[in-house]
Each structure stands twice: as structure tokens, then as C-alpha cells.
């Protein structure tokens, strides 16, 4: 049973426009959420995170929004650049109460392939 | 600069053989993790460790083992490789406790024939 869902396998956005990547989760014990970016043949790279006590976190062109009542988070990239083309993974951590993947193990979504069109 | 490395980057082995994948980090992180990435599954946690002599099972631990004899290394052993273990394996590390950001190695592509 997938606890972190990224329902869009791919997303195509024009350069300079906003990219919005979505993620839903089902486990209410998750209390920390992260976004990772991954290029082919490389390991995932940490991008931005948000604690469940916040509803927004911003870092340069990247902003993550969290809606706890809807169990939904999104990553906004603005403006989108060609180097942003990659696979983006949403991940969640549940602290000591989570037994699915271990106390500090991350639960990942399947990823969204973002393609920035010139 | 601190980093996390994995070796080998590519490995082909036969069914039934024992295989060990190496992971080495110079971040001096207490926490280390192994994940596998398969098409249609994202990354799934295999084993993790909170420090020397500590190991814990993750979501997909069957057929795998780890040992932690020092802070820097967490080798992953496939006791008897199976074709279902063909995958890309990622090692990661993080500081103890919050924040939960994990830093990943470049991955090892393992093929079991």
C-alpha cells in the first residue's frame, strides 16, 4: 500500500514558467517532508524540506507548501530553467512512531519526471 | 569536502553468489541507510544504522544484511543473490535526529543473472 503518492509520472513545462509538482500521503504519522531531485546515473540530491508544523518553506526559486488536512504537499519552481529537468521525488519521515520503513527511514513516492521545454 | 561514495558502481553476478556493496561516508554522520530503486517503486528502505554496532531492518530487508563496525562504513551483503535483487542500490547518511535530510551516494547498479 503506497503511503506517499506522486500521481503524475511526468510533467512538461515551458522555460520561465512555473512548475508545480504534487504529492499526497496517507500516513498521518508523517511529520517531516522532503523533496529530492535526481539526474540519470546519479544519487538523489536534497532540495528542500518542510516540517509538519509549517505550511510553507521557501528557498530561492523553490517553495514547498504543505496542507496537513488534505495530506497534500506541492513543490513550486519559479521560474523553471532547463537545468531543472530531472526526476523529483517526494519523501516523508515519521519519527519514532512510524514502523513502515523505520524510525528515520524515508518513504518515497515513485517520482515525477519534469521536462523543461525551451 | 565531505562526501559519500559507493563501490563498485556496476556489478554483474550470478544467482546464488554472495555479493557485498560498499558504502563510505566522510560526513561523520551517525545514521546510514541503504535503499533500492526499482521501476514503479521509487526508493525503498532495506536496512539502516544509527551508529556503530547498531543495525535495523527496513521495508525490504529479506535476503540482505549489514554490519556497522565504524562510523564511516555500512557494507550491504546479499547472502545468496537472486534475480529479484537486480536493482540500483543507494546508500545515504544523515545526522542523528532532526533534521531528517539524508545525503545520497551515486548508486550501484547490480545485475543478477
Q: What does each of the 118 residues of chain A score in pLDDT, given as a tens digit?
A: 789 999 999 999 999 999 999 999 998 888 889 999 999 999 999 999 999 999 999 999 999 999 999 999 999 999 999 999 999 999 998 754 444 444 568 899 999 999 999 9
What per-residue confidence (pLDDT) applies to B2?
81
Contact B105, B23 (CB under 8 A): yes
Q: What is d(CA A114, CA A2) in angstroms, rounded to the nearest whole number?
A: 21
- The 10 Å Cβ neighbour count of residue B23 is 24
DSSP string, B30-75: SEEEEEEEETTTEEEEEEEEEETTEEEE-TT-TTEEE--SSSSB--
Per the CB < 8 A criterion, the answer to whether B82 and B17 are in contact is no
What local confidence, expressed as pLDDT, does residue B42 receive?
87
B58 at A interface, C-beta within 8 A: yes
Residues of chain B with pLDDT under 50: none
- Residue B10 near chain A (CB below 8 Å): no
Q: What is the pLDDT of residue A82?
A: 96
The tens digit of pLDDT for each residue in B74-95 reads: 999 999 999 999 999 999 998 8
- Return d(Cα B34, Cα A25) in angstroms, integer: 22
pLDDT at B106: 97
Q: What is the pLDDT of residue B8?
A: 98
Q: What pLDDT does residue A100 have?
A: 42
CB pairs under 8 A between A and B: 69
Query: How many angstroms separate the CA of residue A13 from the nearest CA in chain B?
Result: 22
Residue A31 and residue A23 in contact, taking contact as beta carbons nearer than 8 Å: no
Q: How many angstroms separate the CA of residue A99 from the nearest CA in chain B?
A: 9
Task: Quote the pLDDT of residue A102.
Answer: 44
- Chain B residues inside the 8 Å CB shell of A111: 42
Range B61-70 contact pairs with CB under 8 angstroms and sequence separation of 24 or more: B64/B34, B66/B34, B68/B32
Helix (H, G, I), strand (E, B) or coil at B106: coil
**Inter-chain contact A105–B106, Cβ cutoff 8 Å?**
no
Phi, psi (degrees; rounded to nearest 5) at B56: -145, 150
Amino acid at each position: 500500500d503506497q503511503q506517499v503518492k506522486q500521481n503524475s509520472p511526468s510533467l512538461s513545462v515551458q522555460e520561465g514558467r512555473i512548475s508545480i509538482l504534487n504529492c499526497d500521503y496517507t500516513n498521518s504519522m508523517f511529520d517531516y517532508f522532503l523533496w529530492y531531485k535526481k539526474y540519470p546515473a546519479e544519487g538523489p540530491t536534497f532540495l528542500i524540506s518542510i516540517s509538519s508544523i509549517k505550511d510553507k518553506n521557501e528557498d530561492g526559486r523553490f517553495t514547498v507548501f504543505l496542507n496537513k488536512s488534505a495530506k497534500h504537499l506541492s513543490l513550486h519552481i519559479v521560474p523553471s530553467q532547463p537545468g531543472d529537468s530531472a526526476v523529483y521525488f517526494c519523501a516523508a519521515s515519521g519519527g519514532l512512531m512510524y514502523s513502515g520503513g523505520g524510525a528515520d527511514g524515508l518513504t518515497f513516492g515513485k517520482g515525477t519526471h519534469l521536462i523543461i521545454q525551451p | 569536502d565531505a562526501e559519500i561514495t559507493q563501490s563498485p558502481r556496476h556489478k554483474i553476478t550470478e544467482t546464488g553468489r554472495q555479493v557485498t556493496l560498499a558504502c563510505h561516508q566522510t560526513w561523520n554522520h551517525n545514521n546510514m541507510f541503504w535503499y533500492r530503486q526499482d521501476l514503479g517503486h521509487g526508493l525503498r528502505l532495506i536496512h539502516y544504522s544509527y551508529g556503530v554496532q547498531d543495525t535495523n531492518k527496513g521495508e525490504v530487508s529479506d535476503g540482505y544484511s549489514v554490519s556497522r563496525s565504524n562510523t564511516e562504513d555500512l557494507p550491504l551483503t546479499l547472502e545468496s543473490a537472486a534475480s529479484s535483487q537486480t536493482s540500483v542500490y543507494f546508500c545515504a547518511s544523515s545526522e542523528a535526529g532532526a533534521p531528517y535530510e539524508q545525503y545520497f551516494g551515486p548508486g550501484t547498479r547490480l545485475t543478477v543473472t
